[in-house]
Structure 1
Amino acid sequence: MKIKSPLLFVYGTLKRGYCRDHYLKNAKFLGEAQTEASYRLYDCGEYPGLVHDPNGQSIEGELYEISEATWPMLDEVEGVSINLYRRTSIQLLIPYHDMNVQTYLYVPSTDGLKKCGQRWECKIS
């Protein structure tokens, strides 16, 4: 698979069918993907929080090819400027294991938050 544009792994409200999927309407969906087994996913209420955890597990999500110009808008949506999330590289499993992929990791403390397992499902109607 030859890709030149930036790649984004999403695991929550930006996934297809969720409340913020419209922010990726111009992105190319590449497929479902999983992280390597070194992350934890927490339920933050209306959205999930992904954190790095060496003793974690593989997290399920979606992979998108986006334009470079999309990053500032996504950084704003994800609260990068207020330290809610930070954009960072992430390692995915085969078949995306050799690609340079970015995601948003949750910055605040996860103390008191419920673990979601491998997949976050929105329970807000």
Structure 2
Amino acid sequence: MTTPTELPPHIPCGCPLVAVYGTLRRGGSNDIRRWQSDVRWLGHCRLPGQLYDLGHYPGLILDGSCKVLAEVYELTPRLERELDRVEEVWPVDIGEYAKRIIDVELLPLDGGDPRPVQVLVYEAQPAGVHERALIDDDDWLGWWTRQER
């Protein structure tokens, strides 16, 4: 039995990269550098899915319908633990997102050739996007800045 002050152990997924598509992107309200200032940005990728408007942040369903812009970063166990906390999959999983490891093509910042990589993605769960508006854009951060709020 655990006491309220004990946290369950955090178990890293083992993926060395993470792809972020919403508030965790550079300039977003939860810019990934907030959680690890020296995180290494490697480039961009396109995630096969559809964005949904969840208020002040997006949800992505990996259904292959669109190609959503994401930033790819190196992932350390410490950073993953912080991201899991932000996305509320740890220490208590509220069921809004699930962690998925998918294959994408990395478009490196240095202009090198695209290459296949595996990335961790926080995917919205279907119940969380039910009756939410689809975002008709492949770039959530760009879409968000154009909205009248």
TM-score, length-normalised on structure 1? 0.82
Residues 17, 73 of structure 2: 8 Å contact kept: yes
- Say which SS state the counterpart of residue 117 (structure 2) adopts: coil
- Report which structure shows greater RCO (CA 8 Å, sep ≥6): 1
Instruction: Give the drift of 1:119.
Output: 1.5
Residues 91, 97 of structure 1: 8 Å contact kept: no
How far does the alpha carbon of each residue in 1:69-113 deviate from its partner, in whole angstroms, 9 at most, with x for none? 221221111011111111111222354552121110001422221
Q: Which residue of 2 aligns with 1:6?
A: 16
Measured in 1, the distance between the counterparts of 2:94 and 2:20 equals 20
Counterpart residue identity of residue 104, structure 1: Y
The number of equivalent residue pairs is: 118
Relative distance call for 1:124 and 1:72 in structure 2 (3 A) is farther
TM-score, length-normalised on structure 2? 0.70
- Say which SS state the counterpart of residue 104 (structure 2) adopts: coil
Residue 59 (structure 2) aligned to one of 40, 45, 49: 49
Please identify the structure whose Cα radius of gyration is greater.
2
> How does 1:45-124 map onto structure 2 within 5 Å?
45-54=55-64, 56-80=65-89, 81-93=93-105, 95=107, 97-109=115-127, 110-116=129-135, 117-121=137-141, 122=144, 123=147
Residue 28 (structure 1) aligned to one of 23, 40, 44: 40
Instruction: Give the drift of 1:24.
Output: 4.1
RMSD of aligned C-alpha atoms?
2.1
Unmatched 5+ stretches in structure 1: none
Measured in 1, the distance between the counterparts of 2:25 and 2:36 equals 9
Residue 29 (structure 2) aligned to one of 6, 19, 22: 19
Measured in 1, the distance between the counterparts of 2:38 and 2:79 equals 9
